[in-house]
A and B are shown apart, each in its own frame.
Chain A
């Protein structure tokens, strides 16, 4: 089955710890995105990548880092600099970022909790 997988489903972080959220897609999509979802705030863009080995900051990139070494993978690291990391994290992909009518497809999400 083609799709986007995110792991783990739940992740616990201790104070001062870096954690990495996985996002993998087998849709052969060029672009990938990371969003953070908080209650009452909708989705906010953290980072996005339109091509391998290239990525751009979104609106709330501080305290996060990403890499895009492979087309199918776009892991997100939540660093200790992110002071309020508790949220639901959604990964998305898009087949061709240059085609305006293309929509995003979303993974099932990862819930990050701070201990």
Chain B
């Protein structure tokens, strides 16, 4: 089975600053997808960004970007120019070749005004 590890249960960042959330995973597969989801206090899960393992270029979505290191099985999320609305729980997720999703335990991010 695949495992996803988020080693930072809680993080905080000053508004307008940059923060990086870490994620590592364990798999023997070569073709997979990785995702970052955001869960604000409303509990509604929202996709932040996705990365295909075969693509070497790191994905970027506005202020959100990833640092995908396939050999190291690392998939960190960088949030630039942090905003108060970024305060949420962030989950890293792995999708295997069978299209099953595995989630990490989450990182609670607080943006401080």
Contact = CB atoms under 8 A, between A and B. Distances in A.
Interface of A: 31, 33, 35, 40-45, 48, 50, 58-59, 88, 90, 92, 94, 97-98, 100-101, 103-106, 108-109
B100 interface: yes
B101 A33 contact: yes
Interface of B: 1, 4, 6, 9, 31, 33, 35, 37, 42-47, 50, 52, 91, 93, 95, 99-106
Contacts of A90: 45
Contacts of B105: 40-42
A88 B43 CA distance: 9
Nearest to A88: B43
A100 B33 contact: yes
Contacts of B106: 42
Contacts of B33: 100-101
A101 B100 CA distance: 13
B35 A103 contact: yes
B101 A45 contact: yes
Contacts of A105: 47
A21 B104 CA distance: 24
Given A100-B52, A108-B44, A42 B91 contact: yes
A103 B38 CA distance: 13
Nearest to B52: A101
A97 B44 CA distance: 22
A48 B96 CA distance: 14
Contacts of A100: 31, 33, 52, 95, 99
Given A98-B99, A100-B95, 15 more contacts: A33-B101, A35-B103, A40-B9, A42-B91, A45-B100, A50-B99, A59-B1, A88-B43, A100-B52, A106-B44, A106-B45, A108-B42, A108-B43, A109-B43, A109-B44
